[in-house]
Amino acid sequence: MTEASKGTLVTGVIGSDTHIVGNRILSRALEQAGFRVVALGALTPASEFVDAAIETNADAILVSSLYGQGELDCRGFRDLCTEAGLGDILLYVGGYLVVGEQPWESVERRFLDMGFDRVFPPGIRPDDVVGPLADDIAERRGGESLSGDQPADGPS
Amino acid sequence: MNMALLIDFGSTYTKLRAVDLDAAAVVGSGQGPSTVTSDVTVGLDKALTELASHMGGLPRFRHRLASSSAAGGLRMITVGLVPDLTAKAARLAALGAGAKLAGTFSFELTEGDVDDIVDALPDIVLLCGGTDGGNRKVIVHNAQRLAESALACPVVVAGNRSAADTIAGDLQKAGKKIIVTENVMPRHLELNIEPAREAIRQLFVEHIVHAKGIDRARARFDAVLMPTPAAVLQGAHCLADGVAGEPGLGPLVVVDIGGSTTDVHSVCDGHPSHTGVVYHGLPEPHAKRTVEGDLGMRHTARSVVAQIGRDAFSGEAGMSVEAVEALLRRSDDDVGWLPQRDDERQFDQALARRATRLSVTRHAGTHETIYTATGPVTLQRGKDLSEVATIIGTGGVLVHGDDPARTLSAAMAGDHAPLSLMPRSACLMLDADYVLYACGLLGAVEPAAALAFGREALKSLDGERTEKDADHDATAAQ
């Protein structure tokens, strides 16, 4: 880390899900776009996303799920963050979130209701995430910092 | 002659070992009481007199090195952020430095926490929290709380480096002595405890040895190098990994059963031993020490028995529940009693086996199987000790007990904990002459000689085990 980054992100694949490839591509692309990425990899329990976000003072958590169990695994994720003092940390989720053919709008609605800030369908490109993410983080940093923390500076 | 004197200022006894460096052998030993609370030189001189009488006078020693666990040992408090992350890294660092943990804290310290820390009268507080560039709010808050408190001891700061200047300023302004060193977890799940361990050792050598009055005997030795548990860990490290040009024993585990605690040291990478196993959580150090504060032979005998239940323990010891209770009461009243009768020996053996099994089970990592859409996956947490080649036992109950091989074999994997990554087949050895600390001290100046004499001094128990097993099998077959 040689300069202040655009933000610190925690990425990983939640639950008993081993599909790591897409998450790895996304993590690499985000790093190249100037974010600090803490990549937890596959088979990550919800609590480990939260622990990592606390220690690294992350700006956002990006949860991937590709085996259709995402709705079960992500239930209560926002509450977990609130309990842990992460408050309004940005939460994104994406992948094959549910089983079977379901209208995207209804899937998106359910995950937004769970407290995720953005929900991404399968087949998107990393650039589709980078843009909104940079905007969302900048917007939060522009406002009052609720945690009372300075923006994270990398060691020189 | 080329000789070294290795001194251990223990909690009860001051012990000496004289090592002939050329012959790689212990050539003399001596023991006196530990008299740290009055004048440390009295006990040391008694031990030196005993050594001189064994050796026909004291030779000129090339090295005179000491370790100490006297006057309460190195009492430490650790403070981190998340329990499984920086708070765990802080604990691993303090234990690896040979400390006795007087308290471990996570998240923001409350006023009550700070009162507890001050009341615990620690020798050092290790303050951690946040990755580099990560969370700074909590560690800054905790530093301010400590700065405002009546805490008198030095603080080692090993947390988020972005917050280090602020923290150092706050603590120094309040008149606290501090050492700032590298973060114990600079990036997520990256363990970096050596700098913190070294800072703790430095404080121990420069301040605590003086504060505890050990340096009154300074004319009789060259240096106190480290706390005794750190010397044992260093000794284990030297024996396991060897030195340049001379291989060691390979991956090993040391079980040290004491009156109030059981220490376990492991020296091995402990990475997954099969392909397809995924490691999870904070990596653990190559040389790892754990202390079980509820597993010991006297002060904590009651808690060992409570963990398996009094009936089960009585059955295992071959004694009545009343007889077990009588000996537990005796242990409460007199922590120094030694077994004389057969039933007392059985009681001690059963306690030692249980303390061994529980302490190694807690030290070792575990496997967990997760069923995924693509088949089962095995997760590993902690160190895999299944390939450990040697288990070394130390401590009075093993050295003076009836069947140390049987006691020590309780450190092996078994049906009691099928998912535990305990050793599967290892040679059993006994530190019969109490040399591990001496090996660790000598290793700091003459590693090759330390390895050679340490190997010589350990006693293999495998022969005994085989005979006893054969006897047991023969009896069982009849």
CATH number of the domain residue A25 falls in: 3.40.50.280
Query: What is the rounded average pLDDT of the residues A99-119?
Result: 93
Report pLDDT for A4: 57
Three-state secondary structure along B302-347? HHHHHHHCHHHHHHHHCCCHHHHHHHHHHHHHCCCCCCCCHHHHHH
Residues of A in contact with B185 (CB under 8 A): 55
Interchain contact, A43 vs B86, CB within 8 Å: no
Q: Do the domain assignments include residue A81? A: yes
Q: Do the domain assignments include residue A90? A: yes
Q: Do the domain assignments include residue A152? A: no
Taking the C-alpha atoms of residue A13 and residue B362, their distance in angstroms, rounded to an integer, is 29
Contact A95, A73 (CB under 8 A): no
Query: What is the rounded average pLDDT of the residues B234-257?
Result: 96
Q: Strands of B36-135 (E only): list them.
A: 61-68, 75-79, 100-105, 124-127
Contact A38, A5 (CB under 8 A): no
Q: Is the confidence at residue B473, as pLDDT, over 50?
A: no
CB-closest option in B133, B189, B373 to A1? B133
* B75-207 fold: Rossmann fold (3.40.50)
Query: Which position among A17, A59, A73, A117 bears the catalytic label?
Result: A17
Residues of B in contact with A42 (CB under 8 A): 278
Q: Measure B155 CA to nearest chain A CA, in Å.
A: 21
Condensed to tens digits (0 to 9), the pLDDT of residues B384-422 reads 999 999 999 999 999 999 899 999 999 999 998 999 999
Among B138-152, B206-220, B274-288, the range with the most confident prediction by mean pLDDT is B138-152
Q: Is the confidence at residue B466, as pLDDT, over 50?
A: no
Model confidence at B371, pLDDT cuts 50, 70, 90, reads: confident
Q: Is the confidence at residue B470, as pLDDT, over 70?
A: no
Interface test mutation site (partner A, options B79, B82, B277, B370, max chain A beta carbons within 10 A): B82
Q: Do the domain assignments include residue A94? A: yes
Condensed to tens digits (0 to 9), the pLDDT of residues B306-343 reads 999 999 999 999 999 999 999 999 999 999 999 999 99
CB-closest option in A8, A18, A55 to B86? A55
Report pLDDT for B196: 98
Residues of B in contact with A149 (CB under 8 A): 135-137
Same fold flag, B3-71+212-221 and B237-440: yes
Q: Do the domain assignments include residue A156? A: no
The question of whether A17 is a catalytic residue gets the answer yes
CB-closest option in A8, A54, A152 to B81? A54
- The distance from CA B120 to its chain's CA centroid, rounded to whole angstroms, is 21
pTM of the full structure: 0.89
Residues of B in contact with A1 (CB under 8 A): 132-133
Name the residue ranges covered by the structural domains of chain B: 3-71+212-221, 75-207, 237-440
Q: Is the confidence at residue A80, as pLDDT, over 50?
A: yes
- For residue A66, give the chain B residue with the closest CA: B373
Report pLDDT for B464: 60
* Mean pLDDT for all residues in chain B: 93
Does residue B85 belong to the interface with chain A, where contact is any CB pair within 8 Å? yes
Radius of gyration of chain A (CA): 15
Q: Do the domain assignments include residue A54? A: yes
The boundaries of the domain holding residue A65 are: 8-140
Q: State the total domains in chain A.
A: 1
Interface test mutation site (partner A, options B81, B84, B131, B139, max chain A beta carbons within 10 A): B131
Contact B230, B440 (CB under 8 A): yes
Q: Measure B80 CA to nearest chain A CA, in Å.
A: 10
CA distances from B475 to B316, B350, B471 (A): 18, 21, 6
Report pLDDT for A143: 58
Report pLDDT for A150: 46
- CATH classification of B237-440 is 3.30.420, yes or no? yes
Residues of A in contact with B280 (CB under 8 A): 43, 48
Report pLDDT for A127: 92
Query: Which position among A19, A51, A88, A136 bears the catalytic label?
Result: A19
The question of whether A19 is a catalytic residue gets the answer yes
* B3-71+212-221 fold: Nucleotidyltransferase; domain 5 (3.30.420)
